[in-house]
């Protein structure tokens, strides 16, 4: 009987400690999944990925560049 009471107290302590703990401790920060470091300007029908790549690599000395994002607001972004 004492073993059952001790086990129940242990389970309740673990449950209460879990509920009261800060849940943000386990959350990770948001990382840029694309790895692009610097966004220069919006992309358009005239300014597309090939122009963005040339601007990033030749004018700004990055290793890569392209238009990324959702179709309605594509951005020319450069990668180190």
Condensed to tens digits (0 to 9), the pLDDT of residues 12-65 reads 888 887 777 665 555 544 445 557 788 999 999 888 889 999 999 999 999 999
Rounded CA separation 74/76 (Å)? 7
**pTM, 2 dp:** 0.54
Q: Which fold has domain 33-80?
A: Defensin A-like (3.30.30)
19 within 8 A of 12, measured Cβ to Cβ? no
What pLDDT does 30 receive? 46
């Amino acid at each position: 009987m004492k073993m059952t009471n001790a086990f129940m107290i242990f389970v309740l302590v673990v449950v209460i400690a879990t509920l009261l703990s800060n849940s943000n401790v386990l959350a990770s920060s948001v990382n840029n999944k694309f790895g692009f470091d610097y966004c220069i300007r919006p992309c358009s029908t005239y300014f597309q990925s090939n122009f963005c790549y040339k601007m990033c690599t030749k004018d700004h000395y990055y290793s890569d560049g392209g238009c990324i994002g959702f179709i309605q607001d594509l951005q020319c972004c450069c990668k180190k």
